[in-house]
């Protein structure tokens, strides 16, 4: 049993993964963050240091579409919306950054939504 709390463990994994992956203008990083109530995703160009596109359950353009959906359905809708935004800007390929979260549940449904929307990673 480790002495790390869940957040410390996630931070350690996140730092380790971020040392190896980086987003560019051609293949931005698809970063995911989840809280207990909301999900956030953004495409980041690390070389230029700016966000290309972002979507979340609290953003104005997505709030109307969310309604009374379950969290996993909301995450999938955010993935599809972000994929649409990326394709409109000419981006097809991304690097997925799960931010230290396990690849299941909400993170997996967001990734599947992005793939369904046309992104490749």
- Spatial strand order of the sheet with 95-97 comes to 50-56, 39-45, 29-34, 95-97
What is residue 119's predicted lDDT score, i.e. its pLDDT? 95
Q: What is the mean pLDDT of residues 31-49?
A: 94
What is the set of domains in the chain, with CATH numbers?
Answer: 6-117 (3.30.420.100)
Residue 77 · residue 110 · CB < 8 Å = no
> In angstroms, rounded to a whole number, what is the distance separating the alpha carbons of residues 46 and 10?
21
Q: How confident is the model at residue 1 (pLDDT cuts 50, 70, 90)?
A: low
> In angstroms, rounded to a whole number, what is the distance separating the alpha carbons of residues 99 and 112?
16
Residue 121 · residue 55 · CB < 8 Å = no
Q: How confident is the model at residue 2 (pLDDT cuts 50, 70, 90)?
A: low
pTM: 0.87
Span 62-84, pLDDT tens digits: 777 777 888 899 999 999 999 99
């Amino acid at each position: 049993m480790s002495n790390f709390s869940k957040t410390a463990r996630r931070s350690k994994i996140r730092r380790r993964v971020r040392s190896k992956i980086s987003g560019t203008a051609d293949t931005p990083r698809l970063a995911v963050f989840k809280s207990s109530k909301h999900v956030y995703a953004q495409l980041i160009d690390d070389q230029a240091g700016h966000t290309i596109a972002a979507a979340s359950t609290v953003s104005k353009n997505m709030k109307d579409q969310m309604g009374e959906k379950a969290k996993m359905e909301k995450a999938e809708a955010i993935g599809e919306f972000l994929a649409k935004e990326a394709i409109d800007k000419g981006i097809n390929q991304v690097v997925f950054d799960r931010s230290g979260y396990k690849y299941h549940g909400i993170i997996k449904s967001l990734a599947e939504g992005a793939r369904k929307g046309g992104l490749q990673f």
